[in-house]
Amino acid sequence: MNEEQIKLRVQKRIVLISGLILVGKFAAYFVTNSVGVLTDAMESIVNVVAGLISLYCLSWGSKPNDKEHPYGHGKIELISASVEGILISVAGGMIIYEAIKRLLVPAEVGKLDVGIIIVAVSGVLNYLMGYYSIRTGKKYGSMALVAGGKHLQSDTYSTIGLVAGLLVLYFTGLAWIDSALALIFGTIIIVTGVSILKNTISGLLDTADDKLLGELADLLNENREPEWVDIHNTKVIKSGNNIHIDCDLTVPWYYTVSEGHKSGEKLKNVLRGRYSDKVQLTLHLDPCDIFASPKCSGCIFEKCKYRKSPMITPEKISLSSFTLNESEISDK
């Protein structure tokens, strides 16, 4: 079973269990007539709908590259996470509306003991599903699974508070506590939705991932070949669990095309050794004499026949130098 099939299997399980939880929560609402319990039930609708969208997106995103989609279909996972963020925010707004309405027009709440048990059990199940989804998502680079898992776990945290509040309501009988709980957790749900949207928008806009760039710089430093004078102008795009890297490799100016190609293949092999077939590299070769200031003082290539000055301090591949273009390097 490949990675895409594993992600689909995980999401199918989450959708199935979320559907069962949805039925249980609405049963609890009809039994208790608690707007606090309705809060949890309405968010479960979002869980199921978002889960179905994620399932479709994961299925679509697993398709291989083609002529129309040379970078693959993985970006659709970000669209899935964005839709989930929007749905969560809308659900939070609806919950706050219901809470205010119930605060102005109180209604009798009953059989809270049954409702509390159902809500508590569903909260535990949501947490376990969220943990499973996040772990799988991080392992296989799926933004959709990570976003879905965080949503499920945030649902659990709100459920803990909801259960505590329902217990207070059960023992005190203060009706306003029910509406207050819905207001609090409706706000929490909106914050969660906005947070998911913020992360997915960054992915859709291909915002630079400094963590990944730093990881790449460390990897290349650890496996650096002497003739890799410099690596710069690096750009990374993530599409699902695929990583597309575009960078410039500086080699000794007198290298033949064949020698430069071999150096590039070494770089490609290092990346594939870490990321297997998930990485796609587009490489541009630069001769070391292209820069206004010679790089000899930081060059570790001892076999160079045309060194203009001795090496003083080896120049490491850092996050800052890794992303510089030629004009920025020349201005330094």
* Residue finishing a domain among 183, 204, 225: 204
Instruction: Indicate whether 9 and 36 sit together in one domain.
Output: yes
Instruction: Indicate whether 136 and 96 sit together in one domain.
Output: yes
Give the structural domain span for 222.
210-331
Of 120-129, 165-174, 279-288, the range with the lowest mean pLDDT is: 165-174
Residue 14 has pLDDT above 70, yes or no: yes
Of 80-89, 250-259, 319-328, the range with the lowest mean pLDDT is: 319-328
Average pLDDT over every residue of 38-47: 75
Instruction: Indicate whether 143 and 12 sit together in one domain.
Output: yes
Give the pLDDT confidence score for residue 261 in this predicted structure.
92
When divided into structural domains, the chain yields a total of 2
Tell me, rounded to whole angstroms, the distance of Cα 24 from its chain centroid. Answer: 30
Instruction: Indicate whether 28 and 149 sit together in one domain.
Output: yes
Q: Which of 36-40, 101-105, 116-120, 323-327 has the highest mean pLDDT?
A: 116-120
Instruction: pLDDT band for 207, please (50, 70, 90 cuts).
Output: low
Bigger pLDDT: 13 vs 324: 13
Instruction: Indicate whether 320 and 193 sit together in one domain.
Output: no
Provide the CATH number for the domain around residue 22.
1.20.1510.10
Give the pLDDT confidence score for residue 60 in this predicted structure.
66
Instruction: Indicate whether 193 and 229 sit together in one domain.
Output: no
Convert the pLDDT of each residue in 276-314 to its tens digit.
767 778 888 888 887 656 678 788 888 888 888 887 778
Instruction: Indicate whether 141 and 9 sit together in one domain.
Output: yes
Instruction: Indicate whether 105 and 30 sit together in one domain.
Output: yes
Give the pLDDT confidence score for residue 116 in this predicted structure.
82
Instruction: Indicate whether 176 and 216 sit together in one domain.
Output: no
Instruction: Indicate whether 12 and 129 sit together in one domain.
Output: yes
Instruction: pLDDT band for 88, please (50, 70, 90 cuts).
Output: confident
Instruction: Indicate whether 179 and 281 sit together in one domain.
Output: no
Alpha carbon separation from 259 to 64, 247, 269, 286 (Å, rounded): 32, 18, 15, 13
Bigger pLDDT: 88 vs 264: 264
232 DSSP β-pair partners: 248
Provide the CATH number for the domain around residue 270.
3.30.70.1350
Give the pLDDT confidence score for residue 330 in this predicted structure.
54
Instruction: pLDDT band for 108, please (50, 70, 90 cuts).
Output: low
* Residue finishing a domain among 175, 204, 233: 204
The average confidence (pLDDT) of the chain is 77
Instruction: Indicate whether 177 and 214 sit together in one domain.
Output: no
Residue 134 has pLDDT above 70, yes or no: yes
Of 10-19, 70-79, 81-90, 258-267, the range with the lowest mean pLDDT is: 70-79
Bigger pLDDT: 291 vs 126: 126
Average pLDDT over every residue of 160-183: 76
In this prediction the pTM is: 0.54
* Residue finishing a domain among 164, 184, 204: 204
Convert the pLDDT of each residue in 229-284 to its tens digit.
888 888 887 765 677 888 899 888 889 999 999 998 998 888 888 777 677 788 88
